[in-house]
Amino acid sequence: MNMEKNYLLENARAIELYEKVKDLPIYDYHCHLDPEAIYKDEPCPDIGSLWLSGDHYKWRLMRQAGVAEKYITGDAPYKEKFIKYAESSCFAAGSPLFSWNVMELDKYFGIEDTLTGESASDIYERAAARIKESEMSPRKLIKGSNVRFIATTDDIADSLIWHEKLKKDESFDVTVTPSFRCDRLLLINKPDYADYIKKLEDVCSFEIKSIDDLCRAIEARLSYFIERGCIFTDLGIPDFPDRIGTKEEAQAAFSAALNSGEITRESYMSFLGYMMTYLGRLYKRTDRVMQLHLAVKRGANEALTSLCGADCGSDCIGDVIKGDHIIALFNEIAREGGMPRTIVYTLNPSMTELLVTIAGSFRNVSVGAAWWFCDHKRGIENVIRCIAEEANLGEFTGMLTDSRSFLSYARHDYFRRILCSLIGEWVENGEYPEALAFPLAKRICCKNIADIIAQRASAEGAR
């Protein structure tokens, strides 16, 4: 498919605006890139592994097309996997994957042919030649995409050894920072929770037997992360507290988890409410950005998850979270000094307007980019329109990749084209002045998030 210059740009004003924003720098403030791969910067092997080695978006599409698992997460050669993916995706009309295929083939490989089962073998070989000719590697892909900042996703017990190496590497001028992710810390109902706490004890060098110990460990690890550049924190668990427990209730639940005791739902919710309040207040004190990913269901297909592990493509949209529960948590956090800078995402699109209006009731809180199953043209447009109608679009922090792929920076281009079409529509309809169109788009594409990063980075440098 010929990647037309005006792809996804639906009006004349959009075309003009896109020309001004397409080369703006990228600040990828939430992703799942591997810092070890960035540091080692080994040559990319082939387009099959680049596209399919860890992309559960593509895996789901292939399963829905009836492709055998050996061509998805199995041991089939990557060329065969690539051909099977091509056979599946060429009929995926309306899917963002189809658009991303077009954009990545054009941007990184200079290939404008439509990817189909018939063309896949030839495209694979031409991509291999381009990889070899350009000596394609993670750092070259990052630099070639005009990326200035990357925040990876890191468990709080991680050593961050590769982040330390990157920080000392003066040959690479893209800032790569860890993000403080607390999912495993809060999932006390998991059977391996006591083992996880032992791991946390090892990295902290002290025993963790009480809630006070746990909070001490969290603060020690957050300081460790901040020393290595951490600005963003994250949480993306399937559950959300329906109550704020007392310290005593949280202690009872924590003790039960350490001793393989029974943890009732009420006890778990009390622990979760207490700990999420504690974390929010800690992030406020340390001026870290709190990210909350809401309404996700992990491992819906238990058999597939058991066979292939987590992040294999068996997750789905979770149930709607009651607004009263979100409001209660925010109010409890805010009782001590207000909310930290907070970005909230929802996987359930029916929550978007609810979240936008809740966020607007609290200073420092905003709704983030369309996430995961909502990261398509309609979903992106919906988030932008809701923020525009119910909040302040000029403060939107814009796009992130949320990806494990070094080719996913094409998604920023996808977002920018859709954004420009919307703003262009408002300009052509006389709803917004042309003179403000580029300043608005620039704020959303990079300036707002760049300012958030710079403010905290400069504060750390001044300490």
Distance CA 419, CA 174 (A): 26
27 belongs to a structural domain: no
CA distance 238 to 314: 13
Report pLDDT digits (tens) over 305-324. Answer: 999 999 999 999 999 999 99
| Kind and range of the H or E run holding 381 | helix 377-390
Specify if 458 maps to a domain: no
Question: What residues contact residue 290 under an 8 Å CB cut-off, 6+ apart?
Answer: 233, 235, 279, 280, 283, 339, 340, 341, 342, 343
Position 100 in a domain:
yes
- Angstrom distance (rounded) from CA 393 to CA 39: 36
Question: What is the structure's pLDDT at 114?
Answer: 95
Q: What is the DSSP letter of 318?
A: P
Full strand arrangement of the beta sheet holding 180-181: 154-155, 180-181, 232-235, 289-294, 342-346, 365-367
Burial of 463 (0-12, 13-18, 19+ CB in 10 A): exposed
pTM value is: 0.96
Distance CA 28, CA 7 (A): 23
Asked if the structure places residue 306 within a domain, the reply is no
Rounded to whole angstroms, the Cα distance separating 371 from 293 reads 8
Report if residue 72 sits inside a domain: yes
Q: How many residues does the chain have?
A: 463
Is the same domain home to 278 and 208?
Answer: yes
Specify whether 188 is located in the same domain as 281: yes
For residues 191 and 118, membership in a common domain is answered with no
Within-domain flag for 379? no
Torsion of CA 274, 275, 280, 282, to 10 degrees: 110
Query: Is 38 strand, coil or helix?
Result: helix
Give the per-residue pLDDT at 320.
Answer: 98
| DSSP-derived pairing of the beta strands 232-235 and 289-294 | parallel
- How far is residue 280's CA from residue 182's CA, in Å, rounded to a whole number? 12
Where is the domain boundary, 136, 163, 195?
Answer: 136
Q: How many domains does the chain have?
A: 2
Q: What is the pLDDT of residue 3?
A: 60
Residues 192 and 249 in one domain: yes
**∠ CA 240-246-249, rounded to 5°:** 85
- Rounded distance, CA 379 to CA 376, Å? 5
What is the CATH number for 131? 1.10.2020.10
State how far the Cα of 341 lies from the Cα of 359, in Å rounded to an integer. 11
DSSP 217-263: HHHHHHHHHHHTT--EEEE--S---SS---HHHHHHHHHHHHTT---
- CB count within 10 Å of CB 189 equals 17
Beta bridge partners of 343: 291, 366
Q: Which domain holds residue 126?
A: 46-136
Is there a single domain that holds both residue 122 and residue 204?
no
- Exposure string of 308-344, with b = 16+ CB inside 10 Å and e = fewer, is beeebbbbebbeebeeebbebbbebbbeeeebbbbbb
CB atoms within 10 A of CB 59: 24
**Residues 153 and 234 sit within 8 Å (Cβ to Cβ):** yes
Instruction: Tell me how far CA of residue 295 lies from CA of 23, 26, 31, 224, 358, in angstroms.
Output: 34, 27, 19, 30, 15
The rounded distance, in Å, linking the Cα atoms of 84 and 294 is 33
| pLDDT for residue 2 | 56
Q: What is the largest CA-CA distance in the chain?
A: 65
Are 52 and 127 contained in the same domain? yes
In a domain, 158, yes or no: no
For residues 105 and 189, membership in a common domain is answered with no
Same domain, 210 and 127: no
Pairwise CA distance, residues 231 & 251, whole Å: 29
Identify the segments of the chain with pLDDT beneath 50.
none
Closest CA to 110 of 123, 97, 119, 120: 123
Check residue 309 and give left, alpha or beta (phi > 0: left; psi -120 to 50: alpha). Answer: left
The answer to whether position 341 is within a domain reads no
| Cα separation, 297 vs 454, whole angstroms | 34
pLDDT 10s digits, 333-381: 999 999 999 999 999 999 999 999 999 999 999 999 999 999 999 999 9
Give strand ranges (E) for 323-405. Answer: 342-346, 365-367
Residue whose tokens read 């381009």: 130
CA distance 424 to 421: 5
